[in-house]
Chain A
Amino acid sequence: MKKYKAYLLPFLLLCMLLSSCSANRLSAYKKSKALLDTFVTITVVAASQDMADKAIEDAFDIIEKFGDLVNFYSDKSELSAINRNAGIREVRVSPETLDIIEKALFVSEKSGGAFDPTIGPEIKLWDFLKKVKPSDAEIRKNLPLVNYKNIIIDRTKSTVFLSRRNMLLDLGGIAKGFAADLAVQSLKQKGISSGLVAVAGDIKAFGLKPDKKPWIVGIKNPRQKSNDDEIIARVPLSDKAISTSGDYERYFIMDGKRFHHLLIPKSGYPANTCQSVSVIADQGVMTDAFSTAFFVLGPERGLGLAKEMGMDVMIIDSKGALHTTPGLQGKLTIERNH
C-alpha cells in the first residue's frame, strides 16, 4: 500500500496537467436579433463566445443587407422599386434580388402556379386582425394581376419587369428561407462547422451539436390548446432546412369558417385542405416557397410533387391527420399527447 501512495500524487498531478490541455471545449452559443420584420435566432458551435459573436454578427449583417433589398414595406428596397414601376419600366436589381426572384419563378412553375409571388394584390384585400374579408367581386377584380408569368427577367441586364400595372410582387413567402441560406453560407465561410439559423419558423441547420447529436427541430401543433401541446412532432436536421406553412399564423374565424393568409393564386380564396405543411430539403429558399406550394396543392398533390422534387414533407390535413413522405419514417417523433 505504501508503494502506491508514492505514485498517487504524481498521478493526480498528471491529471491536473491533462485537464488543462482540453482548452478547445466547444459549446453552443445563441444570439437573437430583430430583422426582416421578424425574430432571427442564430446558434453556433464554437470554441469561444468571442468567435461565436463575430460569426453571428456577420451573419446578422448579411441578413439585414438582404432584407433591405427585398423589404415589401420600405420605399427604399429594390422590391418596392419593381412594384412602383409595374407596367411602366424594368428595374435594375442586385444579384441577390435577381436570384431570389428567379428561384420564386422556379417554384411557381414547378408547382403549376400554386406558389405565386405576384399574389400581393389579393393579400392586400384581407385584414386578418380586423377580420376584414373582401367581397367576391373585389377578389375577382384583382385576379388578373396574379400571374407569375408576367414577371419578366433579363439576366444579362439584371433587370426585373412586372408587365401589368398594379401588379405587386411579394417575396414574403420565400425571403426568410433565402435569408437562412445566406446566413448559413456566411457562418460556414467564417469557419463555423456547426450551427442553426432560425429566421422565425424557417430554419436551416448544419453540422452536429457539441454532444455530436443532430439539431432537433420541433413542429408546431396547428391546433395548440395549451402550453403543453405546442409541439406535435420533432425531427432531426442534418445539413437540411425546414419550413412550415400553416393556417394558424394569420387568420380569423367568421361564421364558423377559418380564413387565413395562404391564398390559392387562381381563386384568391384561402386553401382549406391542410392545417399545416412542413418541408425538409437542402435549401431554405426551397423549403420556404414549396411549403406554401404544397399547402395550396393539398395533401395528395402536395405529397406527389414533394416526392417528385426529392423533398421530405409532413402534411397535417384539414382533419388533423398526418401524411408524410417515406423519407421521414424512423426520423419523425410524434409527441406523446397525440
Chain B
Amino acid sequence: MKETIKNTTLADRLLFLLLISLSIAGIFISRDALSQGSDVIIEINGKPSYTLPLYSDRLLSVSGPHGNTLIETKGGKVRVKEAHCRNQICVKEGWISKGVIVCLPNKLVIIVGGSKKDQQQGIDAITG
C-alpha cells in the first residue's frame, strides 16, 4: 500500500487535488443557487409550459379555452391576476408562495416548487 502511494506521480496528486477542490467548490456554489431559486411552474393541459422565477416581478399572459389568463409574480409570491373562467376560483386563491392554484376550465395549473426541506426530512405528504 505504501509502495503504491510512493508510486503516485506528481501529475496524479495534482489531478486529485484539482478534482477534489473543484467538486467541493461546486457543492458550495450549488447550495447558494438552490436557496435563491424557486420556480413557478405553469402547466397547461398537464404539460409544463412555462417556468417563472418566483423571486421576480413579472406578468405573464397565458391563453386558454376561456380567453387569456394573467399570472403575476411579485415579492416571492404568485397569483392569478385576471381570468375569464366562470367561477374565478383561481383568482380567489390570491397570492401563494407555496402550493398550487388550479383553473380547471382553462386547464391551467400553477405550481410553486415544493420545499427541498420536506424531502430531506422524509415527509411524504402535508396536511393542513
A225 CB to nearest chain B CB (Å):
11
Question: CB-CB < 8 A to B102: which residues of A?
Answer: 34, 37-39
Q: B124 an interface residue at 8 Å Cβ cutoff?
A: yes
Q: A107 an interface residue at 8 Å Cβ cutoff?
A: no
Residue in B87, B94, B122, B127 whose beta carbon sits within 8 Å of that of A220 in the complex = B127
A231 touches B126 (CB 8 A): yes
The segment from A19-27, A85-93, A201-209, A264-272 found at the interface with B is A201-209
CA distance A149 to B16 in the complex (A): 78
The segment from A184-192, A242-250, A293-301 found at the interface with B is A242-250
Question: CB-CB < 8 A to B98: which residues of A?
Answer: 227, 230
A231 touches B118 (CB 8 A): yes
Q: Is the interface of B mostly helix, strand, loop or mixed?
A: mixed
A105-129 interface code vs B (CB 8 A; 1 in, 0 out) = 0000000000000000000000111
B127 touches A218 (CB 8 A): yes
CA distance A41 to B125 in the complex (A): 9
Known contacts A33-B46, A73-B87; is A201 also within 8 Å of B100 by CB? no
B128 touches A227 (CB 8 A): no
B100 touches A217 (CB 8 A): no
CA distance A39 to B103 in the complex (A): 11
B76-106 interface code vs A (CB 8 A; 1 in, 0 out) = 0000000000110101111000111010100
A276 touches B128 (CB 8 A): yes
B117 touches A234 (CB 8 A): no
Q: B109 an interface residue at 8 Å Cβ cutoff?
A: yes
Question: CB-CB < 8 A to A73: which residues of B?
Answer: 86-87, 89
A188-226 interface code vs B (CB 8 A; 1 in, 0 out) = 000000001010011101000100000111111110000
CA distance A128 to B89 in the complex (A): 11
Known contacts A218-B118, A230-B98, A231-B118; is A201 also within 8 Å of B126 by CB? yes
CA distance A34 to B42 in the complex (A): 12
Question: CB-CB < 8 A to A38: which residues of B?
Answer: 100, 102
A227 touches B117 (CB 8 A): yes
Q: B115 an interface residue at 8 Å Cβ cutoff?
A: yes
B88 CB to nearest chain A CB (Å):
9
CA distance A215 to B115 in the complex (A): 18
Q: A43 an interface residue at 8 Å Cβ cutoff?
A: yes
Q: A255 an interface residue at 8 Å Cβ cutoff?
A: no
CA distance A234 to B123 in the complex (A): 8
Q: A136 an interface residue at 8 Å Cβ cutoff?
A: no
Residue in A34, A37, A127, A278 whose beta carbon sits within 8 Å of that of B128 in the complex = A278
Residues of B in contact (CB 8 Å), total 27
Among B89, B92, B123, max chain A CB count under 10 A is at B123
CA distance A309 to B43 in the complex (A): 42
Q: A308 an interface residue at 8 Å Cβ cutoff?
A: no
Question: CB-CB < 8 A to B94: which residues of A?
Answer: 129
Known contacts A128-B92, A201-B128, A246-B128; is A227 also within 8 Å of B118 by CB? no
CA distance A95 to B76 in the complex (A): 45
A217 touches B124 (CB 8 A): yes
B38-81 interface code vs A (CB 8 A; 1 in, 0 out) = 00000000100000000000000000000000000000000000
Question: CB-CB < 8 A to A201: which residues of B?
Answer: 126-128
Known contacts A34-B102, A37-B102, A37-B104; is A217 also within 8 Å of B126 by CB? yes
CA distance A148 to B123 in the complex (A): 38
Known contacts A34-B102, A231-B118; is A218 also within 8 Å of B89 by CB? no
Would you list which residues of chain A between 39 and 75 have a CB under 8 Å from chain B? Answer: 39, 41, 43, 73
A selection of 28 A-B contacts at a CB cut-off of 8 Å is A34-B46, A34-B109, A37-B89, A37-B104, A39-B102, A43-B124, A196-B124, A203-B127, A215-B125, A217-B125, A217-B126, A218-B118, A218-B121, A218-B125, A218-B126, A218-B127, A219-B126, A219-B127, A220-B128, A221-B128, A227-B117, A230-B98, A230-B126, A231-B121, A234-B123, A242-B127, A243-B127, A246-B128
Interface set of A (CB-CB < 8 Å, partner B):
33-34, 37-39, 41, 43, 73, 127-129, 196, 198, 201-203, 205, 209, 215-222, 227-228, 230-231, 234, 242-244, 246, 276, 278
Interface set of B (CB-CB < 8 Å, partner A):
46, 86-87, 89, 91-94, 98-100, 102, 104, 107, 109, 111, 115, 117-118, 121-128
Enumerate the 6 nearest inter-chain pairs by beta-carbon distance, A residue then B residue, closest first.
A220-B128, A39-B100, A218-B123, A244-B128, A198-B125, A201-B127
